[in-house]
Structure 1
């Protein structure tokens, strides 16, 4: 098994990322920072996870926001 010592996202589940972001920001703030409908229209962790798992560009934006938020 390959280890990824320089990858801060290694071992962090997408669900955990979303939970931490929604604890820090409201859904409305998330929608303002990342313009995707799963944060705007009837948002939930479950629906957002489904969308982000199928949409690599959106997942990348969420991961970047998460990395930015944990650096502070």
Structure 2
């Protein structure tokens, strides 16, 4: 088996990096519109959003899919 790059486009990206890029690209308001979760709508912050996303697989999946749709 060759040692090439991973085929996973999220390989090497942390959830914090993904979320930060999305916030820089869309802003909190648009991110909350695209992914309707309270941590993006009510007093959003990277720290509180990461805490929620790490505990909530369905929400993390939505964030990862938006990242892929936006940047890949």
Query: TM-score of the superposition, structure 2-length normalised?
Result: 0.91
Q: Give aligned pairs, total.
A: 69
Rg comparison, structure with higher value: 2
CA RMSD of aligned residues (A): 1.3
Unpaired runs of at least 5, structure 1: none
Unpaired runs of at least 5, structure 2: none
Alpha-carbon distance in 1 for matches of 2:66, 2:16: 14
Alpha-carbon distance in 2 for matches of 1:26, 1:8: 23
Query: TM-score of the superposition, structure 1-length normalised?
Result: 0.91
Structure 1 outlier segments of 4+, above 6 Å = none
Alpha-carbon distance in 2 for matches of 1:14, 1:33: 18
